[in-house]
Structure 1
Amino acid sequence: MSTSGPVTDPDVHDEDAESAGAERPNRRRARRRRRVPLPGWRAVVATLLTVTLLAGIGLYVRAGQLEDSGATGNLALADVEATDGVAGEVTDILRTVFSYTPETIEETERRAGELLAGPAAEEYGELMAEVRDLAAEQQLSLTTTVVRVGVRDLTEDRAHLLVFLDQVAERAGEDPATTAAQLSVTAQRAEDRWQVTEITSR
């Protein structure tokens, strides 16, 4: 007996089909497992990229500031002696004008007239007009200690500083009271010395 067409074994065909059918889902699952990242992977990579980018931008901006004429003109970045000089003078000024006793308040005001100028001198005069009578009546004394000074920027004739200070107020018959203050200070060079021209409480 003859037959036309290919001869196939039904059992073999069915086994191969079943085997192939079983392998395809396994391969799909394997591919899906390979494509699925670990939990948080995208967040970690995004964070690392952001940090790297920000660091690069920071370095670029800093380099630009150093190259900029305004930054290179800031002596606080380059001249240690000038920076220490203005910090020392402003420290002495603030300690002098904000320290007094009933006996020395007039001398303190006189010295303030030499050490302060501009808005700082005007505001100080108004303040001391109120304090002068209280100091005599209540035996009020004030001692100021400059704790820290930071020079934010400095040119040949102008400086901006951030000053931290402690003040101890004493009144007759009462315990001393200590307070801390933070000031933004502007100083202007007048001939061979510095004068404080603006004082802002922060």
Structure 2
Amino acid sequence: MSERTVLDGNAVEAEERVGGVEPEPERADDPGRRPRWPRVLGALLTVALVATGGVLFAQGQQLRDTPATANLALTDTEATTRVTGDVSNALGRIFSYGPEATALAKDAAQQVLAGKALRQYAALFGQVEKQAADQKLTLTTHVVRAGVTRLTGTSAHLLVFLDQVYERRGRPATTASAQLSVTAELRDGRWRIVEISST
């Protein structure tokens, strides 16, 4: 049964006692009891921060792994200068010879060429030696400009512009220009040309 009690002029509904024990109302200001919502909110914030960090890390990794950032020709001036110098020097040595000095170019090719480039050069060099001897031909090659278009730790691709001066005995010298596409690889600490093609 319920009975109405009037306290200080306000009507309060008293609940029926069950088993003679009246339940004790929960008090928010109980010092031994903490609300759960701060812990739940803290856990949600932690999950959100971890997820955001993972997404940002993945995006940063993608930016670092783009072809542009992998191309050292855009970021490593010292390596770019070195490969440009090595390739330019090599081309000047293998494409410069005289009627009595073709052996120097042939020896240089063994040192600075490898792979496909060395095989092509060896196949053509017999004709070069004959032509130089028959026509008393001297060829001098100068690299006018070389640009590295792609560079990694072990390989490079370059565009090279050459001036070649042909001198035949008894005739005036003539100059011709050439443009080459060159691929080089770093082998045993030295850049060696592995492919050459005209462009």
TM-score by length of 2: 0.66
Instruction: Using the TM superposition, give the Cα deviation of residue 71 of structure 1 relative to its aligned residue in structure 2, in angstroms.
Output: 2.0
Task: Report 1:153-192 matches (<5 A).
Answer: 153-192=150-189
- State how many pairs are aligned: 138
User: Which of 112, 117, 121 is the equivalent residue of 2:118?
Assistant: 121
Instruction: Using the TM superposition, give the Cα deviation of residue 123 of structure 1 relative to its aligned residue in structure 2, in angstroms.
Output: 1.1
Instruction: Using the TM superposition, give the Cα deviation of residue 137 of structure 1 relative to its aligned residue in structure 2, in angstroms.
Output: 1.9
Task: Report 1:21-100 matches (<5 A).
Answer: 67-100=64-97
Instruction: Using the TM superposition, give the Cα deviation of residue 66 of structure 1 relative to its aligned residue in structure 2, in angstroms.
Output: 6.3
Report whether the alignment pairs 1:102 with 2:99: yes
- Which sections of structure 1, spanning at least 5 residues, go unmatched? 1-64
CA distances 1:170-202 after superposition (whole Å, capped 9, x unpaired): 111111111000110000111110100111101
Q: Distance in 2 between matches of 1:111 and 1:94?
A: 9
Alpha-carbon spacing, 1:66–1:105, altered in 2? closer, same or farther (3 Å)? farther
Q: State the partner residue of 2:136.
A: 139
Instruction: State the SS of the aligned residue for 1:175.
Output: coil
Q: Distance in 2 between matches of 1:93 and 1:126?
A: 18
Q: Percent identity?
A: 51
TM-score by length of 1: 0.66
Counterpart AA for 1:145: H
Residues 64, 70 of structure 2: 8 Å contact kept: no
CA distances 1:51-107 after superposition (whole Å, capped 9, x unpaired): xxxxxxxxxxxxxx9654332111101000000000000000000000011121112
Q: Distance in 1 between matches of 2:87 and 2:173?
A: 26
CA distances 1:33-52 after superposition (whole Å, capped 9, x unpaired): xxxxxxxxxxxxxxxxxxxx
**What is the Cα-based RMSD across aligned positions, in Å?**
1.4
Q: Distance in 2 between matches of 1:176 and 1:156?
A: 41
- Which sections of structure 2, spanning at least 5 residues, go unmatched? 1-61
CA distances 1:103-156 after superposition (whole Å, capped 9, x unpaired): 211121011111101111111112211010121122111000100011001001
Instruction: State the SS of the aligned residue for 1:85.
Output: helix
Instruction: State the SS of the aligned residue for 2:195.
Output: strand
